Chains A and B, each alone.
Chain A
């Protein structure tokens, strides 16, 4: 057989072309993510993505939230490029986006349906109108209560309670001799732990973190009322050791039937109604997060999102992955494999228009209501210069808010008075703000 020179050339070119393309596509992307249930599920389903995209392989770095945040921040600030996909929240995204550290999320395929994303979530993940991360799941906060205990005590929970009403219920339900505590709330010190809740309480009582000149407002009458209320409520009608209880500890308490009420993240809804985890799974009622003098900022807003740092060396592959993981198709995949109630909540309107979802997940209705109400740009009664409902989207916040959290948990533990705790907290915050140049 005599092949002409031309056909040999064509064959070689074809072979080279194939080799080049597959070489170019054989990329590894490193994904840094939190070890929450939905992310673990994402990791489990990632084989579908790898099957559909043979040139891309995924490397997972899963860490607990605080460690992950440190790791990612160090990486992105030092431009090390160790991560191609980062799981970050509504706190970091606007700051890092403004610093120019994140790839802007433009050119999303039409099938992605950007308009389907919750407006508040989208706004929370954007700076100057540009989206910098794709939301994976979102949450607000709500009130969980035990329908059986309420019935026994002859109480009835309104759809939109106030903190005063919640306190009345707690007093009636508190029975420590039988290990039944009126209410469980976060007490563990941390900007995302107790301060998330306390900030929403302060918001509900009419307070704000800063006035328009960035002076700390922690000694204002609104904050004092809110924190005194919190210390009294949780200290007298809550479980022992409350000042070290975070989300997980309270979840365990609620699931083992020890709390009459619990105000916390909407994602807890799926945990408390899951019979494999909860002893009270069919006795849970849902109500709005309590308001007081105002409803503004009474329920928080948070979303975990996937972003791509500009220092990544596999941006295209990373883009493919993040689009896949936050798409409608991914939600359908989760519904197929894990049941419809396991769909990542709080990101897409279409999820909540799906009647099957609303039926399967009892907490979905309240989640939707709460997420609609939350507005990071307008979360306080008086005008404030910052965005964020339960946090303030400025770089120093995670540091000084944790210090404030320590003071508040100290007041709760009884090792200091509320007034002194707030005075210390106010000093710390003002000090840091001055150092960061916000106050003139």
Chain B
């Protein structure tokens, strides 16, 4: 009996605690979404209004004024393609470094990470001039290439970490069975590290989606992603909080929904106990 009540108490505490923390962390986003349904005057009122007549006028304005679907499509294409490419190029590299480390592996890993240490601001003009000369300004291709290269070090690092977690015995077991490299990767490694691979892909997706430096400086109108949409609603003259909230909600919605769906993958974790 005692053990049972202890468990129930623990469960309640964990549940309440988790919900509280989640609510606190999510609150600013909730407030932003709420504001997107207020009129501009309401959005800035003090005290802030919790109950009000909701209006869709802000969303209307965003759809009328900006070509939302073009921006959204650009964001989707650029983020997904660059993330897929980063995974495709990064996975083999992470594999090699995790399972066949050489003396230089550590050095290579660190060097890869150091490519990210140059602040983008410092290298803006050289890259801009390079893009101009190769005709990649304002193209989705240009952004895809840059994002793949930007995210590659992170992707490799993270996959490397998850690969390192796989117990050696499993791989040895399948190698003893004569499996080729490809079979080893496809049938054993990937399913086991699926959780980690999914979160890596999701991470790369988010980083590309929210990347607001290159996407603003290297595009004009054709390849502009959702970050440009946001930039057209921040700080004009006059009141704009409600409209900005609406635009932000629209910009975040696709990726939030996608993240929600991919939760299942994250959950489908490892079952180490079962393997033994």
Direct A–B contact in complex, judged by CB atoms less than 8 Å apart = yes
**Residues of A near any B CB (own CB < 8 A):** 30, 32, 34-37, 40, 43-44, 59-67, 70-71, 74, 78, 80, 82-83, 179, 246-248, 251-252, 255-256, 265, 267-268, 271, 276-277, 279
Please, which residues of chain A bring their CB within 8 A of the CB of B237? 36-37, 247-248, 251, 265, 267-268, 271
Partner of B221, one of A60, A246, A276, A279: A60
Residues 227-250 of B, flagged 1 when their CB comes within 8 A of A and 0 if not, give 010011111111110000000000
Q: A63-B216, A248-B238, A248-B239 are in contact. Are A78 and B231 (CB under 8 A)?
A: no
Q: A80-B132, A279-B41 are in contact. Are A65 and B235 (CB under 8 A)?
A: yes
Q: What is the CB-to-nearest-CB distance from A24 to chain B, in angstroms, rounded to a whole number? A: 22
Interface residues of B, count at CB 8 A: 31
- List, sorted by A's number, 7 A–B pairs whose CB atoms are closer than 8 Å: A43-B65, A67-B231, A70-B217, A74-B128, A248-B239, A276-B41, A277-B239
Q: A78-B128, A248-B237, A256-B46 are in contact. Are A61 and B221 (CB under 8 A)?
A: yes
Q: A35-B233, A63-B228 are in contact. List 4 more A-B contacts (CB 8 A).
A: A64-B231, A65-B236, A78-B128, A246-B235
Q: State in angstroms the CA–CA spacing of A271 and B41 once bound together.
A: 12
Does B40 interact with chain A (Cβ within 8 Å)?
A: yes
Please, which residues of chain A bring their CB within 8 A of the CB of B41? 255-256, 276-277, 279
Q: B46 and A71: CB pair below 8 A?
A: no
Q: What is the CB-to-nearest-CB distance from B75 to chain A, in angstroms, rounded to a whole number? A: 16
Binding site secondary structure of chain A: mixed
Q: A80 and B216: CB pair below 8 A?
A: no
Q: What is the CB-to-nearest-CB distance from B35 to chain A, in angstroms, rounded to a whole number? A: 13
Does B134 interact with chain A (Cβ within 8 Å)?
A: no
* CB under 8 Å from chain A, chain B span 30-46: 40-41, 44-46
Please, which residues of chain B bring their CB within 8 A of the CB of A44? 65
Partner of B138, one of A82, A247, A252, A268: A82
Q: State in angstroms the CA–CA spacing of A68 and B222 once bound together.
A: 16
Please, which residues of chain A bring their CB within 8 A of the CB of B14? none
Q: B132 and A277: CB pair below 8 A?
A: no
Q: State in angstroms the CA–CA spacing of A271 and B138 once bound together.
A: 35
Which residue of chain B has the shortest Cβ distance to A249 in the bound complex?
A: B44
Which residue of chain A has the shortest Cβ distance to B234 in the bound complex?
A: A64
Does B220 interact with chain A (Cβ within 8 Å)?
A: yes
Q: A35-B233, A78-B132, A256-B46 are in contact. Are A61 and B239 (CB under 8 A)?
A: no
Q: B46 and A271: CB pair below 8 A?
A: no
Which residue of chain A has the shortest Cβ distance to B41 in the bound complex?
A: A277
Please, which residues of chain B bring their CB within 8 A of the CB of A32? 220
Please, which residues of chain A bring their CB within 8 A of the CB of B216? 63, 67, 71
Q: State in angstroms the CA–CA spacing of A279 and B231 once bound together.
A: 28
Please, which residues of chain B bring their CB within 8 A of the CB of A60? 221
Please, which residues of chain B bring their CB within 8 A of the CB of A65? 235-236
Residues 155-193 of B, flagged 1 when their CB comes within 8 A of A and 0 if not, give 000000000000000000000000000000000000000
Q: State in angstroms the CA–CA spacing of A276 and B232 once bound together.
A: 22
* CB under 8 Å from chain A, chain B span 199-233: 216-217, 220-222, 224, 228, 231-233
Which residue of chain B has the shortest Cβ distance to A248 in the bound complex?
A: B235
Please, which residues of chain A bring their CB within 8 A of the CB of B132? 78, 80
